[in-house]
Structure formats: structure tokens, C-alpha cells
């Protein structure tokens, strides 16, 4: 079994300072093989905010893969936003905005969907999708291909905003190339296995993570997800959500999915 932790929308700079240590403790207690962070590491892409995010992530002492979100581009500095939108991310966080990681039989691909030309929206850049598709086609059958992106490629029914430019075509191409899982964030709303039911298979398992730490007014359901990929093509997803009274993250009952005939179904 390979265990991944999916964190998203940390928003360092406008984050729940009281939850940082409980989040760290909970993540470490899971004994995961790697951590994935699907963007919005910071609230306003300020150097100190990137430092705080990286201090947290490197302090976990686990392999991790992170990609930028729309909040990791400076918003109030038009010169930087236009001429060097990802400079602060690359200098203050991670140079590689399309990182890859191989853990056991999992192959992870990170892409950068943040679009400096719009405030919230994202974009599936064709050159990045091309590279991911080419790499996935070269993987053997027993490898699970996982995409990590900030913006969702398909939105849940209550959140249909069409925010990710080029997403439908990119999703179709990546599915044909062997994509099996997408881990994304941005919506600050949890959806585990979009559209998948016991009798409704989907080729791609999509997990939209809620925010782990964001302190914006009205934010709730802070948490993270643990994904256990078993050798028998079963995937168990366990959401660890904050217990506000206890001031710590606790696991909820897990959901089990199974890969059958080229698609995911919800298992009993």
C-alpha cells in the first residue's frame, strides 16, 4: 500500500495559526509516503508567506510535491503580476512549477494552472498537458497516474463556474493517455470521487480538497485527505477534519473506491 496525504489551500498569511501545529501533528501521525499540496500555499504571494509555507512543508520531512495556485501570484503589484507573476513562487517556494514524483507504483504529475491574466480562474496550458500525456503513455499498465493541479478540471454541481480554461478538452486527452486520479483544490469545498457511485463508473477519480488552514471569514471544514492506494486497485480516502472543540484533526470514516474495467466505482 502507498499512502498519500493531500493538502490544499494553506493560505499562509491569512491562516488559522492555531491549527498549524495540530495539522503538522495529524499529518505526521499518518506515516504517509508523500505529501501533495495543490496550490494556494499563500494568501498574497508575499516572501514571508512563502517562507512560512515552506517552513511548514519542509518541516514534515516527507517527500512532497506542490504546485502554485491563483493566490501564489501577486495581486496588488501590477508590475510583478504582469512581468514576473511566478517569480516570488519560484524564488521563495519551489523553482519547478510542474514537478513530478514517483512513489511506489504511483506516478505524480504537477501542473501550474494559475493564470495571472485573471484573478480567480485557471488555465490548462496545452504545453503542460502535452508533456503529461506523453509521460503517462510511457508508463506501464500497473502504474497509477495522478495529476495534481490547483484548479479543478470538473466542478461539482453546486460549484459550476467554468473557471479552468481548456479543462474539458485537457481532461479528455489525459484520460485517453492513462490518467486515473486528479487531486485539486481552489473551491474550498470537499468533493470525494466526483460523480462516482456503486453503479456509475468514472475513468478518473477526482478529489476536490477543502482548505487546510485558510482563515477567511466563513471558512469551515478545515482538513486534509489521506489516500491509501492498495495493490488490489482499491483506493481508500479518509478525510481528517478539524474538531474545533478539541483543537485537533480527527479522521472521519473512509470511503472506498475500486478500479474495475478501466473505471472507478464506489465499493461497498
Binding positions for Fe ion, rule: CB under 5 A = 9, 40, 69-70, 186
CA distances from 204 to 24, 80, 191, 231 (A): 29, 36, 14, 18
| Close Cβ partners of 35 (under 8 Å, ≥ 6 residues apart) | 4, 5, 7, 27, 57, 60, 62, 63, 64, 65
Q: How far is the CB of 188 from Fe ion (least distance, A)?
A: 6
Please state, in angstroms and rounded to a whole number, the distance separating the CA atoms of residues 39 and 45. 11
| CA distances (Å), origin 133, targets 91, 109, 144 | 28, 10, 13
Nearer Cβ to Fe ion (107/186):
186
| Closest distance to Fe ion from the beta carbon of 150 (Å) | 6
Q: What is the DSSP string of 226-256?
A: EEEE-TTSEEEEEEEEEETTTTEEEEPPPEE
Q: Which is nearer to Fe ion, 40 or 154 (CB)?
A: 40
Tell me the closest approach of the beta carbon of residue 84 to Fe ion, in angstroms.
20
Q: How far is the CB of 66 from Fe ion (least distance, A)?
A: 13
Cell numbers placing 33: 509516503
Minimum gap (Å) between residue 219 Cβ and Fe ion: 9
Rank residues 85 and 178 by Cβ distance to Fe ion and give the closer one.
Answer: 85
Please identify, using beta-carbon distances, which residue of 70 and 192 lies nearer to Fe ion.
70
Amino acid at each position: 500500500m502507498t499512502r498519500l496525504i493531500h493538502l490544499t489551500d494553506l493560505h499562509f498569511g491569512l491562516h488559522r495559526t492555531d491549527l498549524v501545529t495540530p495539522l503538522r501533528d495529524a499529518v505526521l501521525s499518518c506515516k504517509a509516503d508523500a505529501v501533495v499540496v495543490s496550490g494556494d500555499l499563500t494568501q498574497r504571494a508575499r516572501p514571508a508567506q512563502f517562507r512560512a509555507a515552506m517552513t511548514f512543508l519542509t518541516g514534515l520531512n516527507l517527500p512532497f510535491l506542490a504546485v502554485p495556485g491563483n493566490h501564489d501570484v501577486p495581486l496588488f503589484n501590477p508590475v510583478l503580476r504582469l512581468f514576473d507573476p511566478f517569480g516570488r513562487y519560484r524564488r521563495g517556494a519551489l523553482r519547478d512549477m510542474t514537478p513530478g514524483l514517483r512513489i511506489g507504483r504511483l506516478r505524480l504529475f504537477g501542473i501550474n494552472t494559475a493564470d495571472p491574466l485573471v484573478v480567480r480562474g485557471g488555465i490548462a496550458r496545452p504545453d503542460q498537458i502535452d508533456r503529461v500525456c506523453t509521460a503517462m503513455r510511457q508508463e506501464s499498465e500497473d502504474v497509477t497516474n495522478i495529476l495534481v493541479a490547483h484548479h479543478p478540471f470538473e466542478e461539482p454541481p453546486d460549484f459550476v463556474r467554468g473557471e479552468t480554461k481548456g479543462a474539458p478538452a485537457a481532461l479528455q486527452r489525459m484520460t485517453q493517455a492513462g490518467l486515473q486520479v486528479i487531486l485539486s483544490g481552489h473551491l474550498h469545498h470537499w468533493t470525494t470521487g466526483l460523480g462516482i457511485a456503486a453503479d456509475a463508473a468514472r475513468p478518473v477519480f477526482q478529489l476536490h480538497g477543502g482548505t487546510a488552514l485558510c482563515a477567511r471569514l466563513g471558512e469551515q471544514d478545515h482538513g486534509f485527505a489521506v489516500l491509501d492506494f492498495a495493490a488490489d486497485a482499491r483506493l481508500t480516502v479518509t478525510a481528517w477534519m478539524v474538531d474545533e472543540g478539541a483543537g485537533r484533526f480527527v479522521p472521519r470514516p473512509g470511503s472506498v473506491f475500486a478500479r474495475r474495467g478501466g473505471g472507478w466505482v464506489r465499493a461497498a
